[in-house]
Amino acid sequence: MTEKLPHWDLSNVYPGLDSPEFREGMAQLGRLLDTVDAYLESHQVGPGGPVPATAEALAGTAGGYLEGMNAMLRHSQTLRNYVWAEVSTNSYNQQARRSLSEIDAMLVRSLRQQVLFRGWLGTAAGERERFEAALALPGPAHDHRFYLQEEAEQSRYMMSEAEETLAAELSLSGAKAWQNLQGVVASQLKVAFRREDEVQELPITVLQNLRNDPDEEVRRQAYEVEVAAWERVREPLAACLNGVKGAVGTLDRRRGREDSLHQSLDQERIDRQTLEAMLGAMRDSLPAFRRYFRRKASLLGKEALLWWDLYAPVGRSAEKLSWQQVQDFVLEQFASFSPELEVFGRRAFDERWIDAEPRDGKRGGAFCMPLPAVDESRVFANFDGTLDGVMTLAHELGHAYHNECQAGKTMLQRQRPMTLAETASIMNETIVTNAMLARSSDPQEKLAILEAFLVNSSQVIVDIYSRFLFEQEVFRRRAEAELSADDLCAIMLSAQRATYGDGLDGAHLHPYMWAWKPHYYIPVRSYYNYPYAFGLLFGLGLYRVYQERGEAFLPQYRQLLRESGEGSAADLAARFGIDITTRPFWEGSLRIVEERIEEFCAL
């Protein structure tokens, strides 16, 4: 009998998209946006607007905005994520897609509101003594002092109010439209694939999953068919990428940014010194990863690893696990780390926070989303009973635990950067991986567990670095002229050769990685790559601190998660005696990975 996998339950949020409660939720979003608009107008909040004459009045004006914006964000994120839960699990639901579009159109107003407040705050911060005194007074302004200081700093990189408003409105039919087109083209791309004398028409996402197939001929054919498929749609996708990067580059220049990396660094709350320290350590680790690739090639009976072998299984894992087995195992490991984590995980399982069943109309991948109005999260997964599936589930429950730790914080206090957003998920993943290795006495099973860890690590270090190099070069050249599909392929191959080196057969790389990775097409988040490496290495570094300190680590760890939206990455890391601005920390984290590589090579 086929095991019944859980679907998530969101009935405590809204009964359904057709319900009066949901319709009222949509209307309530409009009213909350109206409230913020009215407040900004009545207090003349905008770039160059009058600054209250006293610290008390300044704190009061800022506090009123903070309360209104927090209420709107709490409601809008819950409303939008409720709809997204339906869209992501049932792409055929046109009503859900329409509701999502309506919400996104409404939220353009909030972008204008944030522009007005940021501009006003920049003017207020010019009255330095009054501004600092206002932040010192008890109340919302004091509670949000990091957010206010950060917004005041970011006000330096604003166009005029009219230009910022126009940019937000045009984004829906400009860069955002290019992003949406890439998503449509990629998600609707289908291919004919022959297997065992049967030709099937497969979505590109299903075809890509064949990279894990134990049969090399299947993997090779899937790679060749995939590359040919992207070849068919490369012109519209090249136009999409040119449109997004061109618009982003233009706006960054108009806003006075040094470059598009500048905005990314500010979003991630790190500086160039920190990024260079991490990238330098990553560059130095590449020879170790190439040893792993060569060893994997030899285990597969080859002289060099081919692109379609990157995910090829090696070793022998245990039989596929049932959902109940996975639940029991994950909760047992959570309990070994922290009773609180185990209680939280059990709640997520028992209260049906997890949607685990792969099915028609459901997207691929995995994610976690918060529902702040009910102080809960929901976890999206496509569970397949494999070791990787277990680690993915533990990873996403880490995000949910991070959300739990921030319960009681306002929405503006919860805005953690991607660099810190992976902290709890990497911790969970490490706990589960170490437990798997400790329990295994079979060398072939241990090899499979190490392989699952190293496949992920090599993607997050080696491939992510290639994506960073690619994006850097695209931004540089897009400022001068449009880039052809041939140009983009050449830049991609150059970046892959620089990172994979002699670890892979250089004649069989993937020139169209730029075409299908949606990260490149997000106009509000450039360089959506290096934060993944930061998250992995920061999480591994924290796990090493946990090994040294034991239970004394746990209260500090929870506090770090709770306050991850209220400080720079460097300041929060310093609480653990960690200096992320220099290379030794990053080298120490990479040594953990390199030790696993040595274990793998020795088996």
**Could you give the 3-state DSSP secondary structure of residue 580?**
coil
Query: Any alpha helices (H) in 126-233, and if so which ranges?
Result: 128-136, 140-143, 145-154, 161-171, 175-188, 204-208, 216-232
The Cα-based distances of 545 to 11, 225, 294, 341, 431 in angstroms read 40, 46, 32, 18, 13
How far, in Å, CA of 455 to CA of 216, rounded?
17
- Are 431 and 337 in contact by the 8 Å Cβ rule? The answer is yes
- Compute the C-alpha angle 389/374/337, nearest 5°: 45
**In the predicted model, is pLDDT for residue 459 greater than 90?**
yes
pTM for this entry: 0.91
Q: In this predicted structure, what is the pLDDT of residue 317?
A: 72
Q: In this predicted structure, what is the pLDDT of residue 206?
A: 81
How far, in Å, CA of 445 to CA of 13, rounded?
43
Query: Any alpha helices (H) in 375-442, and if so which ranges?
Result: 387-405, 418-421, 423-439
In a domain, 264, yes or no: no
Worst-scoring range by mean pLDDT, 24-33, 191-200, 296-305, 333-342? 191-200
- As separate numbers, helices (DSSP H) first and strands (DSSP E) second, the chain gives 26, 5
User: Mean of the pLDDT values across residues 430-454?
Assistant: 93
How far, in Å, CA of 176 to CA of 262, rounded?
21
**Could you give the 3-state DSSP secondary structure of residue 201?**
strand
- Are 137 and 56 in contact by the 8 Å Cβ rule? The answer is yes
Q: Which amino acid is it at 465?
A: Y
- Are 327 and 349 in contact by the 8 Å Cβ rule? The answer is yes
CA-only gyration radius of the chain, Å: 25
Q: In this predicted structure, what is the pLDDT of residue 507?
A: 94
Q: In this predicted structure, what is the pLDDT of residue 172?
A: 86
In a domain, 309, yes or no: no
Worst-scoring range by mean pLDDT, 1-10, 154-163, 250-259? 1-10
Q: In this predicted structure, what is the pLDDT of residue 165?
A: 87
Please give the structure tokens belonging to residue 517. Answer: 């990775």
Q: Domain residues for 75?
A: 20-172
- Are 85 and 10 in contact by the 8 Å Cβ rule? The answer is yes
In a domain, 334, yes or no: no
Predicted confidence (pLDDT) per residue in 148-157, tens digit: 999 999 999 9
In a domain, 68, yes or no: yes
Q: Which residues pair with 195 in a beta bridge?
A: 198
In a domain, 449, yes or no: no
How far, in Å, CA of 454 to CA of 197, rounded?
34
Average pLDDT, the chain: 95
How far, in Å, CA of 34 to CA of 68, rounded?
10
What spatial distance separates the first Cα and last Cα of the chain, rounded to whole Å?
37
Q: In this predicted structure, what is the pLDDT of residue 195?
A: 87
The edge-to-edge listing of strands for the beta sheet with 376-380 is: 354-355, 376-380, 367-371
Cβ-proximal residues to 415 (8 Å cutoff; 6+ apart), any chain: 147, 565
What number of CA atoms fall less than 13 Å from residue 178's CA on the CB side?
25
User: Mean of the pLDDT values across residues 183-209?
Assistant: 88
Q: How sure is the predictor about 318, in pLDDT bands with cuts at 50, 70 and 90?
A: low
User: Mean of the pLDDT values across residues 290-313?
Assistant: 97
- Are 509 and 304 in contact by the 8 Å Cβ rule? The answer is no
Q: How sure is the predictor about 361, in pLDDT bands with cuts at 50, 70 and 90?
A: confident
**In the predicted model, is pLDDT for residue 260 greater than 90?**
yes
Cβ-proximal residues to 76 (8 Å cutoff; 6+ apart), any chain: 29, 32, 103, 107, 110
Q: In this predicted structure, what is the pLDDT of residue 2?
A: 67
- Are 132 and 152 in contact by the 8 Å Cβ rule? The answer is no
**Could you give the 3-state DSSP secondary structure of residue 427?**
helix
In a domain, 594, yes or no: no
Q: In this predicted structure, what is the pLDDT of residue 118?
A: 96
- Number of domains, the chain: 1
Going by the DSSP 8-state scheme, the letter that residue 527 receives in this structure is -
In a domain, 185, yes or no: no
Q: How sure is the predictor about 384, in pLDDT bands with cuts at 50, 70 and 90?
A: confident
Q: In this predicted structure, what is the pLDDT of residue 13?
A: 98
Predicted confidence (pLDDT) per residue in 461-509, tens digit: 999 999 999 999 999 999 999 999 999 999 999 999 999 999 999 999 9
Predicted confidence (pLDDT) per residue in 62-114, tens digit: 999 999 999 999 999 999 999 999 998 888 899 999 999 999 999 989 999 99
In a domain, 182, yes or no: no
Burial state string for 30-59 with b = 16 or more CB within 10 A and e = fewer than 16: eebbeebbebbeebebbbebebbeebeebb
We report the CATH number of the domain holding residue 160 as 1.20.140
Let me know if 92 is exposed, middle or buried by CB neighbors in 10 A (0-12, 13-18, 19+): exposed
Please give the structure tokens belonging to residue 516. Answer: 């299908």
- Compute the C-alpha angle 233/235/238, nearest 5°: 110
**In the predicted model, is pLDDT for residue 1 greater than 70?**
no
Predicted confidence (pLDDT) per residue in 216-258, tens digit: 999 999 999 999 999 999 999 999 999 999 999 999 999 999 9
Percent with pLDDT over 70 in the chain: 100
